[in-house]
Amino acid sequence: MLQKLKNVGPKTTKLLNKLGIYDITDLVDYYPFRYDVMKLTPLIDGDVCINATVESIPVLTYIRKGLTKLSFRVLTDNFLINVTIFNRNFLKHSLKPGMEINLNGKYDTRKNVLTCNDIKLKPIYNNEIIPIYHQTKGVNSKLINSIVNEALSQDLTIYDYIPEYLVSKYEFLDKKEALYKIHNPKRVSDAKNAIVRFKYEELFKFMFKINYLKTKREKKGGLKRNINPDRVFEFINDLEFELTKDQTNAVKDIVDDLYKPSRMNRLILGDVGSGKTIVAVCAAYYNYLCGYQSVILAPTEILANQHFINISSMFKKYGISVALLKGKTTKKERTKILEDLKKGDIDLLIGTHAILSDDVVFKNLGFVVTDEQHRFGVNQRKNLSNKGVMCDVLYMSATPIPRTYALTIYGDMDISLIKTKPSGRKEIQTSLIRTKDIKVALNTILEEIKKNHQAYIVCPLIENEDSDLTSVKDLKKKMDIAFNKKIPIEILHGQMKQTEKDSVMKNFKEGKTKILISTTVIEVGVDVFNATLMVIFNAERFGLSTLHQLRGRIGRNNLESKCILISDKRAERLKVLEQSNDGFYISEMDFKLRGEGDLFGVRQSGDMVFKIANISSDIKILTQANIDSKKFISKNIDNDFENYSMYKLLVNDLMHID
């Protein structure tokens, strides 16, 4: 318990809770995010860092409301100087004559005044390393460090998730010693050695979870399908269009998985507009031939509607029954769907979160497809697959990431990549302009509207927040003025009700609205074939992968499509989008420039939230942790990790997502 520690009462406990610190383990694992290496300077004009002795009692002056000044004299190198510091009232009673302190700030030789920005109540030595933590009001880095050290002085039970043979192999520090050194490094090398040790442990633990789940899944049996997989090509050959090589390979991967006696757990990673859905449809057809039901879970009603219309049309001639279940489904329709589903009269169910309800019961569900898998939590995905016995599962994601990273972070899944786009699609022409050249964008919008095409306009804010950023509501007013209110324009943003969003997207999809001004909530995967222009304001505010996803809303046809990025900031990385339409290449550049956060969109609780590691900059450690965890599992899974009690606990925790 935190309150057992010295200087930690109820108030401090609440403040620590704000930082995600709820117990002693959270506390000692709350690592500094950087270190200040202190360097003493001589007393010269400008920035200085000096040790000094307090010579006078501080005087507090109230200048105006919210602004105070503390003034006193100090002696440094036998030279008496005046010191001022603003809004540090609490220091008045701490600074006593004769006390040795450290001062940081700007010194004015002419006035003989040092204006401080920081005062430490003890002298420092040259190259002293000060740990800096993420903090909150009322809890600063110094307090966090003192509480951490109080905890480390206790007789703590510390679980080390790196097996002893690996600690020895890599010459890692003992974990308790590493904890002390990461919070109190005497040398830069102390901090570096401790950081590498904790990064490896965190990534080893992460990869253990992934590889354990995959190993257990491979040992379990799956559904039996005795129909020749080649029969799926009867359906493919009958399509009105030809599949790309990548699509064909993905279909083969999935159908081969379905034919095997073990359960499938596969992810299709495809670039925007690469045609992932038809691959899932081909697999659902094969599943139908084998006598099982399929389900496709979509993140929004608009996308579910689109899937239902397109797939129903394809399956009609084969007598395959397709149903749509969503939040807006009437009670009468819902009752009929649930009855038919239970009897087995529905072969494929398409829907939204409504499918996850307990009363949705299948007769013999065999194949589960989750579209835009990152939009659903682990428990939601598990809930769906549990509606059948030993279901085969396919996830689809339009967030392309480099293959090296994909094979590691999605290590519990088999992966099929779809890079090539369907034939007939033209490359989107992307250009970067400044706000002063806005007429270029306006003229392009007008040209597209005159061709009876449509345009998306994206900006970062919903409404003006006293910043230089463009907002949806302000832009709507400006566009109405620019086009004399002669062009139908609507807005879309996250604060709107779902019914309002659906109505706006429906109008745009049907061509009633010609310009859609939106934040980044534009529906992923929704096809508006007539949309040929994407204009993005303040483009520097978005990661490359986000911009590529937005750009993917257009060009879903055989028409010339254009994307205009508007930015007044020199962002060299934006030129990557001018040069390439390859989502995998762009994501690789995004990894190098921004890290993994932007690539994976909405993070789920417990998914890739690392305390110290970063899968982008720490890819070498991640790769090694992946190899080591696989070997560790293969050696110990049969004896149930008999010699590793902490891994027994970890395995028990994993059971709820297996």
HEC-encoded secondary structure of 227-240: CCHHHHHHHHHCCC
Q: Classify residue 187: in a domain, yes or no.
A: no
Q: What percent of the chain has pLDDT over 90?
A: 49
* Measured distance between the N- and C-terminal CA atoms of the chain, rounded to whole angstroms: 32
Boundary-marking domain end, from 531, 548, 580: 580
Question: Residues near 104 by Cβ (< 8 Å), separated by ≥ 6?
Answer: 48, 49, 116, 117, 118, 119, 120
Among residues 120, 155, 172, the one where a domain terminates is: 120
CATH number of the domain residue 522 falls in: 3.40.50.300
Grade residue 378 by pLDDT with cuts at 50, 70 and 90: very low
CB-based burial label for 496 (10 Å; 0-12, 13-18, 19+): middle
Mean pLDDT of 94-116: 95
pLDDT value for 256? 92
Instruction: Tell me the per-residue pLDDT of 512-524, one tens digit each, with 9 for 90 and over.
Output: 999 999 988 776 6
- Judge if 290 and 345 occupy the same domain: yes
CA atoms within 13 A on the CB side of 109: 7
The mean pLDDT value for 497-508 works out to 86
According to the 3-state scheme, what is the secondary structure of 119-150? Answer: EECCCCCCCCEEEECCCECCECHHHHHHHHHH
Q: Is the pLDDT of residue 599 over 80?
A: no
Query: pLDDT for 322-370, tens place per residue?
Result: 999 998 889 999 999 999 999 999 999 999 888 888 888 999 999 999 8
Q: Are residues 499 and 543 in the same domain?
A: yes
Same domain, residue pair 390 and 456: no
Query: Does the residue 620 lie in any domain?
Result: no
Instruction: Please check whether residue 588 lies inside any domain of the structure.
Output: no
Burial of 282 (0-12, 13-18, 19+ CB in 10 A): buried
> Does residue 311 sit in helix, strand or coil?
helix
Same domain, 281 and 386: yes
CATH number of the domain at 81, please.
2.40.50.140
| Rounded CA separation 13/3 (Å) | 7
Number of compact structural domains in the chain: 3
Cβ neighbourhood burial of 442 (10 Å; 0-12, 13-18, 19+)? middle
pLDDT digits (tens, 9 = 90+) for 576-594: 898 888 888 887 787 766 6
**Whether residues 393 and 492 fall in one domain:** no
| Same-domain check for residues 249 and 314 | yes
Range of the domain at 251: 229-418
- Digit-coded pLDDT (tens) for 426-465: 889 999 999 899 999 999 999 999 999 999 999 888 877 6
Q: What is the pLDDT averaged over residues 129-142? A: 89
Q: Do 52 and 80 reside in the same domain of the chain?
A: yes
The Cα 237–Cα 572 span in angstroms is 45
Mark which of 120, 147, 172 sits at the end of a domain: 120
Residue 207 located in a structural domain: no
Secondary structure percentages of the chain, helix, strand, coil, to 5 = 40, 20, 40
Q: What is the mean pLDDT of the chain?
A: 86
The 10s digit of each residue's pLDDT in 173-188 is 999 999 999 999 999 9
Are residues 350 and 412 part of one domain?
yes
Instruction: Choose the weakest-confidence range: 230-244, 279-293, 547-561.
Output: 547-561
Residue 325 resides in a domain = yes
Q: Is 399's pLDDT higher than 80? A: no
Structure tokens at 10: 């109820």
478 and 397 in a common domain: no
User: How far is the C-alpha of 337 from the C-alpha of 282, rounded, in Å?
Assistant: 23
Q: Evaluate whether residue 643 is within a structural domain.
A: no
435 and 391 both lie in a single domain: no
How many other CB atoms are there within 10 angstroms of residue 280's CB atom? 24
Q: Is the per-residue pLDDT at 203 higher than 70?
A: yes
Asked whether residue 139 is assigned to any structural domain, the reply reads: no
The lowest-confidence range among 174-178, 407-411, 538-542 is: 407-411
The pLDDT, as a whole number, for residue 573 is 85
| Whole-number pLDDT of residue 156 | 85
What pLDDT does residue 605 have?
Answer: 29
Do 362 and 451 fall within a single domain?
no
Residue 630 covered by a domain: no
- Are 402 and 277 part of one and the same domain? yes
